[in-house]
Protein backbone atom coordinates (compact mmCIF):
# COMPACT_ATOMS: atom_id res chain seq x y z
CA UNK A 1 0.00 0.00 0.00
CA UNK A 2 1.47 3.33 -1.10
CA UNK A 3 2.46 5.76 1.61
CA UNK A 4 1.57 9.44 1.85
CA UNK A 5 3.68 12.28 0.47
CA UNK A 6 3.43 15.51 2.48
CA UNK A 7 5.35 18.63 1.42
CA UNK A 8 5.93 21.86 3.33
CA UNK A 9 6.32 24.92 1.10
CA UNK A 10 6.86 28.62 1.76
CA UNK A 11 9.30 31.48 1.51
CA UNK A 12 12.63 31.64 3.29
CA UNK A 13 12.00 32.38 6.96
CA UNK A 14 8.37 31.19 6.92
CA UNK A 15 9.03 28.46 9.50
CA UNK A 16 8.45 25.51 7.21
CA UNK A 17 11.71 23.75 8.17
CA UNK A 18 10.75 23.84 11.85
CA UNK A 19 7.22 22.66 11.05
CA UNK A 20 8.52 19.85 8.83
CA UNK A 21 10.67 18.60 11.71
CA UNK A 22 7.99 18.86 14.39
CA UNK A 23 5.30 17.37 12.14
CA UNK A 24 7.50 14.40 11.24
CA UNK A 25 8.31 13.85 14.92
CA UNK A 26 4.62 14.03 15.89
CA UNK A 27 3.59 11.53 13.21
CA UNK A 28 6.40 9.18 14.23
CA UNK A 29 5.30 9.48 17.89
CA UNK A 30 1.84 8.33 16.74
CA UNK A 31 3.45 5.11 15.52
CA UNK A 32 3.66 6.00 11.83
CA UNK A 33 6.63 5.06 9.67
CA UNK A 34 7.98 8.50 8.70
CA UNK A 35 10.80 9.66 6.43
CA UNK A 36 11.76 13.31 6.96
CA UNK A 37 13.76 14.89 4.15
CA UNK A 38 14.39 18.19 2.37
CA UNK A 39 15.22 19.86 -0.92
CA UNK A 40 17.68 20.53 -2.24
CA UNK A 41 19.28 17.66 -0.39
CA UNK A 42 18.05 14.31 0.83
CA UNK A 43 20.87 12.34 -0.84
CA UNK A 44 24.67 12.72 -0.95
CA UNK A 45 24.45 14.19 -4.46
CA UNK A 46 21.60 16.47 -3.37
CA UNK A 47 23.57 17.72 -0.39
CA UNK A 48 26.55 18.53 -2.62
CA UNK A 49 24.28 20.43 -4.99
CA UNK A 50 22.64 22.21 -2.05
CA UNK A 51 26.02 23.58 -0.99
CA UNK A 52 26.51 25.01 -4.49
CA UNK A 53 22.97 26.33 -4.91
CA UNK A 54 22.47 28.03 -1.54
CA UNK A 55 25.92 29.41 -0.74
CA UNK A 56 25.85 33.20 -0.54
CA UNK A 57 29.39 33.30 -1.95
CA UNK A 58 28.85 30.53 -4.52
CA UNK A 59 29.00 30.72 -8.32
CA UNK A 60 26.74 33.17 -10.14
CA UNK A 61 24.35 30.79 -11.90
CA UNK A 62 22.16 31.67 -14.83
CA UNK A 63 18.48 31.05 -13.95
CA UNK A 64 18.36 28.08 -16.34
CA UNK A 65 21.46 26.57 -14.71
CA UNK A 66 19.84 26.97 -11.29
CA UNK A 67 16.73 25.20 -12.59
CA UNK A 68 18.70 22.30 -14.04
CA UNK A 69 20.72 21.82 -10.85
CA UNK A 70 17.57 21.89 -8.70
CA UNK A 71 16.00 19.31 -11.01
CA UNK A 72 19.12 17.13 -10.93
CA UNK A 73 19.01 17.10 -7.12
CA UNK A 74 15.30 16.21 -7.27
CA UNK A 75 15.83 13.27 -9.62
CA UNK A 76 18.29 11.73 -7.15
CA UNK A 77 15.91 12.48 -4.28
CA UNK A 78 12.80 11.01 -5.92
CA UNK A 79 14.43 7.82 -7.10
CA UNK A 80 16.68 7.10 -4.13
CA UNK A 81 14.60 8.31 -1.18
CA UNK A 82 11.02 9.43 -1.81
CA UNK A 83 9.67 6.80 -4.22
CA UNK A 84 11.19 3.84 -2.29
CA UNK A 85 9.77 5.17 1.00
CA UNK A 86 6.30 5.60 -0.51
CA UNK A 87 6.49 2.14 -2.05
CA UNK A 88 7.02 0.56 1.37
CA UNK A 89 4.09 2.49 2.84
CA UNK A 90 5.91 5.24 4.75
CA UNK A 91 4.79 8.83 5.20
CA UNK A 92 7.31 11.16 3.57
CA UNK A 93 7.50 14.68 5.04
CA UNK A 94 9.56 16.85 2.72
CA UNK A 95 10.78 20.41 3.27
CA UNK A 96 10.27 21.87 -0.27
CA UNK A 97 9.60 20.10 -3.56
CA UNK A 98 8.65 21.12 -7.09
CA UNK A 99 6.35 23.88 -5.82
CA UNK A 100 9.44 25.77 -4.69
CA UNK A 101 10.96 25.47 -8.15
CA UNK A 102 7.78 26.82 -9.72
CA UNK A 103 7.71 29.71 -7.23
CA UNK A 104 11.43 30.60 -7.09
CA UNK A 105 12.76 29.80 -10.55
CA UNK A 106 9.37 30.36 -12.20
CA UNK A 107 7.57 33.28 -10.56
CA UNK A 108 10.68 34.73 -8.91
CA UNK A 109 13.26 34.41 -11.69
CA UNK A 110 10.85 34.51 -14.62
CA UNK A 111 11.47 31.10 -16.18
CA UNK A 112 8.72 29.50 -18.22
CA UNK A 113 6.39 27.31 -16.13
CA UNK A 114 5.90 24.87 -19.00
CA UNK A 115 9.66 24.25 -19.13
CA UNK A 116 9.78 23.56 -15.39
CA UNK A 117 6.82 21.17 -15.62
CA UNK A 118 8.36 19.37 -18.62
CA UNK A 119 11.61 18.76 -16.71
CA UNK A 120 9.64 17.46 -13.74
CA UNK A 121 7.60 15.15 -15.95
CA UNK A 122 10.50 13.85 -17.98
CA UNK A 123 13.17 13.46 -15.32
CA UNK A 124 11.55 13.44 -11.84
CA UNK A 125 8.92 10.85 -12.84
CA UNK A 126 6.12 13.45 -12.60
CA UNK A 127 5.80 12.73 -8.87
CA UNK A 128 3.51 15.14 -6.99
CA UNK A 129 2.68 15.42 -3.30
CA UNK A 130 -0.58 14.10 -1.90
CA UNK A 131 -0.73 17.11 0.42
CA UNK A 132 1.08 20.45 0.32
CA UNK A 133 1.05 22.78 3.32
CA UNK A 134 1.96 26.32 2.30
CA UNK A 135 3.24 28.52 5.13
CA UNK A 136 2.28 32.02 4.10
CA UNK A 137 4.00 35.07 5.54
CA UNK A 138 4.53 38.64 4.28
CA UNK A 139 7.90 38.61 2.51
CA UNK A 140 9.41 41.44 4.57
CA UNK A 141 8.74 39.49 7.78
CA UNK A 142 9.90 36.20 6.26
CA UNK A 143 13.14 37.79 5.04
CA UNK A 144 13.84 39.33 8.44
CA UNK A 145 13.34 35.95 10.08
CA UNK A 146 15.47 34.16 7.48
CA UNK A 147 18.34 36.61 7.76
CA UNK A 148 18.24 36.43 11.56
CA UNK A 149 18.40 32.62 11.38
CA UNK A 150 21.40 32.75 9.05
CA UNK A 151 23.18 35.28 11.28
CA UNK A 152 22.69 33.00 14.28
CA UNK A 153 23.99 29.90 12.49
CA UNK A 154 27.17 28.86 10.73
CA UNK A 155 25.28 27.84 7.57
CA UNK A 156 26.49 29.46 4.35
CA UNK A 157 23.05 29.36 2.72
CA UNK A 158 22.11 32.98 2.10
CA UNK A 159 21.92 33.12 -1.71
CA UNK A 160 18.14 33.54 -1.87
CA UNK A 161 17.86 35.72 1.23
CA UNK A 162 20.26 38.13 -0.50
CA UNK A 163 17.79 38.74 -3.31
CA UNK A 164 15.58 41.80 -3.07
CA UNK A 165 12.15 42.17 -1.55
CA UNK A 166 10.53 42.37 -4.99
CA UNK A 167 11.91 38.91 -5.83
CA UNK A 168 10.45 37.44 -2.64
CA UNK A 169 7.13 39.20 -3.24
CA UNK A 170 6.96 37.46 -6.65
CA UNK A 171 7.80 34.14 -4.99
CA UNK A 172 5.00 34.58 -2.46
CA UNK A 173 2.54 35.47 -5.23
CA UNK A 174 3.67 32.39 -7.13
CA UNK A 175 3.09 30.13 -4.14
CA UNK A 176 -0.39 31.55 -3.54
CA UNK A 177 -1.26 31.09 -7.22
CA UNK A 178 -0.19 27.44 -6.99
CA UNK A 179 -2.35 26.98 -3.89
CA UNK A 180 -5.35 28.26 -5.83
CA UNK A 181 -4.64 26.18 -8.93
CA UNK A 182 -3.45 22.80 -7.64
CA UNK A 183 -5.31 20.13 -5.68
CA UNK A 184 -4.19 19.16 -2.21
CA UNK A 185 -2.77 22.55 -1.17
CA UNK A 186 -3.66 24.17 2.16
CA UNK A 187 -2.50 27.68 3.10
CA UNK A 188 -1.43 28.10 6.73
CA UNK A 189 -0.97 31.42 8.51
CA UNK A 190 2.74 31.35 9.35
CA UNK A 191 2.44 34.23 11.82
CA UNK A 192 1.09 31.70 14.34
CA UNK A 193 3.38 30.44 17.13
CA UNK A 194 5.13 27.17 16.31
CA UNK A 195 2.91 25.02 18.55
CA UNK A 196 -0.28 26.50 17.12
CA UNK A 197 1.06 26.03 13.59
CA UNK A 198 1.77 22.36 14.30
CA UNK A 199 -1.75 21.88 15.65
CA UNK A 200 -3.22 23.56 12.57
CA UNK A 201 -1.09 21.42 10.26
CA UNK A 202 -2.11 18.21 12.02
CA UNK A 203 -5.77 19.18 11.87
CA UNK A 204 -5.51 19.88 8.14
CA UNK A 205 -4.00 16.41 7.67
CA UNK A 206 -6.61 14.72 9.83
CA UNK A 207 -3.75 13.51 12.05
Helix (H) / strand (E) element for 92: namely: strand 91-95
Q: 91 and 35 in contact (C-beta within 8 Å)?
A: yes
CATH number for 44: 3.40.50.300
pLDDT at 150: 66
105-124: b (≥16 Cβ within 10 Å) or e: bbbbbebeeeebeebbeeeb
Per-residue pLDDT of the chain (207 residues; tens, 9 = 90+): 899 999 999 998 899 999 999 999 999 999 999 999 999 999 999 999 999 998 888 888 999 999 999 999 999 999 999 999 999 999 999 999 999 999 999 999 999 999 999 999 999 999 999 999 999 999 988 888 877 776 677 676 667 777 888 999 999 999 999 999 999 999 999 999 999 999 999 999 986
Is 0.85 topped by the overall pTM? yes
Nearest in space to 1 (alpha carbons), one of 87, 125, 91: 87
Distance CA 28, CA 8 (A): 17
- Domain membership of residue 168 as a residue range: 4-205
Q: What is the pLDDT of residue 146?
A: 72
Domain tally, the chain: 1
Residues counted in the chain? 207
Amino acid sequence: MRGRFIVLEGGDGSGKTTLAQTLAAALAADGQSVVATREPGGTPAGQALRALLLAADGPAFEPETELLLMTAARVQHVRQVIAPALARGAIVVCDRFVGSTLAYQGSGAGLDTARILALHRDFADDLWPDVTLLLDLPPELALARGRARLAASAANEGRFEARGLSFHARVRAGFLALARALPGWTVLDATQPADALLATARASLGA
